[in-house]
Amino acid sequence: MRDDPALRGRPLAVGGASERRGVVATCNYEARKFGIHSAMPTSTALRRCPPLIVVPPRMDVYREVSAKVHEIFSEYTALIEPLSLDEAYLDVSQATACQGSATLMAREIRERVRAELGITISAGIAPNKFIAKIASDWEKPDGQFVVLPHEVDAFVSELPVKKLFGVGKVMAARLHEMGVEKCGQLRGYTEAELVSRFGSFGQRLYQLCRGIDQREVKVERQRKSLSVENTFPVDLPNLPACQFELEVLFEQMVKRWQKLKSKYRVQGCFVKLKFDNFVTTTAEQTAESPDRMNYTPLMETAWQRHRRPVRLIGVGVRLSPISSTADSEYLQSQLDLPLS
């Protein structure tokens, strides 16, 4: 929309073509009025909104703009935790710009992004990451919302429990069965009762429904895995067809791994399959490197679980950070590995 004014004011989605089983990556607000959202099959989106315009992603443009946005962020604080290309946490508690006002900094950043890059962003300002994240969604698009420290209790009390981190459809349904729709109602349960019902996640629920979040802004986020996936235009009918496609996916994954192996060690490898009935399974094993020989038996293990046509294959590795000089010998061994 920024680069092509003719697209403004019209329902627009970025995603894959419907005839290739594409999905919506994102869409504008004109499209959302029709109930279109990310991860929806493009074919479904077009049925809901026949005049929908679907354009392919432009990752090079997104990365370029994201880098420029982060350059603006860095002029206000060095404590930046990227979540994705288009989202980040900023700790401005010690920043001196705008007289130290987080609200004024957010406003100024938004104005600069609009003037310098031609796009709009929204911001949430709050005492912790949990509430700031929720607040950032409050005044979209092109807005900001502030939750002051003394407002946290009342703000969180009225939040639907589905807004809490980790509460998906299944967890929300379980909470609703308990008569819990909002965080204020969840506060009626003791920490012990929530742990009894939900295990260790019960402790997290107890804290979040009270607006408690002690997580610090991490300047460098740690990856837990690296993978590549492909959804095929036509289902792969059998195991040999899946094994045939494995080679290209493995090469793509190893190419991405080259950029990370100076910071991470491999702890395992895995193959993920999604079958034609949308059932997903993952086969994995421990490993110290992305060894091609591991993936053929993993593919067979995963396929044998359902023995059906396959619509998606993913291959990847589990990672842990290289964090000390004790890892130097491992790091050198990885740097010496061939590409395949």
Task: Show binding-site residues for Mg(2+).
Answer: 3, 86
CA 121 to CA 114: how far, in whole Å?
8
Secondary structure class of 158 (helix, strand, coil): coil
* Token reading at 275: 């079958």
Beta partners for residue 182, in sequence order: 160
The pair of structure tokens assigned to 26 is 């994102």
Q: Could you tell me the two tokens for 324?
A: 């000390």
Residue ranges of the annotated binding site are 3, 86
Q: Judge whether 152 and 177 are in contact, CB under 8 Å.
A: no
* Alpha-carbon span 252 to 244, nearest angstrom: 14
**Residue 290: phi, psi to the nearest 5?**
-75, 75
Cα distances (Å, whole numbers) of residue 180 to 135, 160, 184: 22, 9, 9
Alpha-carbon distances, residue 230 vs 227, 238, 250 (angstroms): 10, 16, 11
Alpha-carbon distance 287 to 280, whole Å? 22
User: 87, 111, 191, 193: which is the annotated catalytic residue?
Assistant: 87
**Contacts for 127-135 with beta carbons within 8 Å, 24 or more apart?**
127/152, 128/211, 128/212, 128/213, 128/214, 128/215, 129/89, 129/213, 129/215, 129/217, 130/165, 130/208, 130/211, 130/213, 130/215, 131/155, 131/156, 131/211, 131/213, 132/89, 133/89, 134/159, 134/163
Give yes or no: 284 in active site: no
Task: Give me the amino acid identity at 187.
Answer: R
Q: Which residues are catalytic?
A: 87
